[in-house]
Amino acid sequence: MADQRPDGELDDYLRQVTIGEVERPAIRVVEYDRGWPRRFSHEAAAIRAALGARALLVEHIGSTSVPGLAAKPILDVLLVVHDSADEPAWLPALEAAGYVLRVREPDFHEHRMLRTQAKDVHLHVYSPDSPEIARNLAFRDRLRTDAADRVLYADTKRRLAARTWPTMQHYAEAKTAVIEAIIARATATAAER
């Protein structure tokens, strides 16, 4: 959930942080699949088997983690390791397990994104001090518990998916205002407790 950038700047940024070609896939939002939690359990087990104690946290995030929410059929997984910038400490084990490093963002909390060969899992790697961990979990948890925000987000995704985007990140950036508003409501609700 990086900051929004104008398209030209976003294109330049994507070329800088993407490993390999910047892809231009079609964005497809599908109805919720009850098999997604089972697929996450399989991925989480593979990640934990590959990393052992180096996997400090493995969480299902994103739309596929929210029962009933329409989503792109790509699982998002949050992984926390001791130091995401120290790739030799964790990356070779994940590569041996079949994951491919696609994004390296040193200026965005040392975020790394790997995916499966089938391109159906995005594994987001952070260090424990990244505020993105709490933001991702707050967003997920808010969508799981608040029907109005779930409908708002689903409608936003469907409307945006109907357009043609240069990259998946352009589509993701277009959702930023809605995502930030939902996170703000989640944070406000948590502060009231």
**7-41 tens-digit pLDDT:** 578 889 888 988 988 888 789 999 999 999 999 99
| pLDDT value, residue 1 | 37
| pLDDT value, residue 98 | 97
Set out the domains of the chain in order of their start, with CATH numbers: 7-192 (3.30.460.10)
Query: Residue 46: how many CB atoms within 10 A of its CB?
Result: 18
Q: How do strand 121-126 and strand 75-80 relate by DSSP bridges? A: parallel
Chain center to CA of 122: 6
Chain center to CA of 32: 17
Whole-prediction pTM value?
Answer: 0.92
Tell me the residue type at 181.
Answer: A
Each residue's pLDDT tens digit in the chain (193 positions)? 344 555 578 889 888 988 988 888 789 999 999 999 999 999 999 999 999 999 999 999 999 999 999 999 999 999 999 999 999 999 999 999 999 999 999 999 999 999 999 999 999 999 999 999 999 999 999 999 999 999 999 999 999 999 999 888 899 999 999 999 999 999 998 888 7
Cβ(40)–Cβ(77) below 8 Å = yes
| pLDDT value, residue 2 | 44
Q: Outline where DSSP puts E strands in 33-167.
A: 57-61, 75-80, 99-105, 111-116, 121-126
Integer angstrom CA distances of residue 68 from 36, 37, 93, 151, 185? 11, 12, 33, 10, 20
